[in-house]
Amino acid sequence: MRISDYANPRQVVLITCRQGEKDNIITLAWHMPLSFEPMIYGIALGFTRYSYEMIKKSGVYVVNFMSLDYEREVLYIGKHSGSEYDKFKETSLESEEAAMIDCPVIKQASAFLECQVKEEIKTGDHALFAGEVMRAEKREDADRIFQISGSNFSTLK
């Protein structure tokens, strides 16, 4: 079994990032709150991810909480790399500007956190970015999306 099989089911989020003219989205199951005060939210990215290089250079990211309605988009974004695809164009997801950082937010997100990287901790084949939350907003109560295993998603009722 892989380490993720022990940890699942886990809520899945979409991370948005920007570097120069390029905007990108990555699907993430490895993410967590790390501090109340200051408010810090962590995300773990594999070194091979295009988004890893983007966030390392820009120092910012947005954590977008999505509902189960976006299962198809979450899977597509988690199976295609921004190095080859424009994932905003290829999905129905629309972007709007974050208020506190230079980064896109997903318009369809039910809640989101605008984060500025404070620390990068290299683990094994992933890096944990600890990002201070510069702005947090909840837009609606939604049936949030969880990864059960592989491409199998569900929500909590």
- Give the footprint of ligand FMN on this chain (CB under 6 A): 12, 24, 26-30, 44-46, 49-51, 75, 78-83, 147
Task: Give the residue at shortest CB distance from ligand FMN.
Answer: 78
81, 50 contact by CB (below 8 A) = yes
The two three-digit tokens of residue 2, written as one number: 């892989």
CA distance 81 to 43: 18
User: Which residue bears the tokens 């569900």?
Assistant: 154
| Cβ atoms < 10 Å from Cβ of 125 | 9
**Of 12 and 103, CB closest to ligand FMN:** 12
59, 101 contact by CB (below 8 A) = no
C-alpha distances out from residue 121 to 33, 46, 114, 157, Å: 15, 12, 19, 35
Give the shortest CB-48-to-ligand FMN separation in angstroms: 7
Give the shortest CB-110-to-ligand FMN separation in angstroms: 17
**Of 6 and 99, CB closest to ligand FMN:** 6
Give the shortest CB-119-to-ligand FMN separation in angstroms: 17
**Of 38 and 46, CB closest to ligand FMN:** 46
**Of 35 and 152, CB closest to ligand FMN:** 152
**Residue 86 has what DSSP assignment?**
-
Give the shortest CB-135-to-ligand FMN separation in angstroms: 23
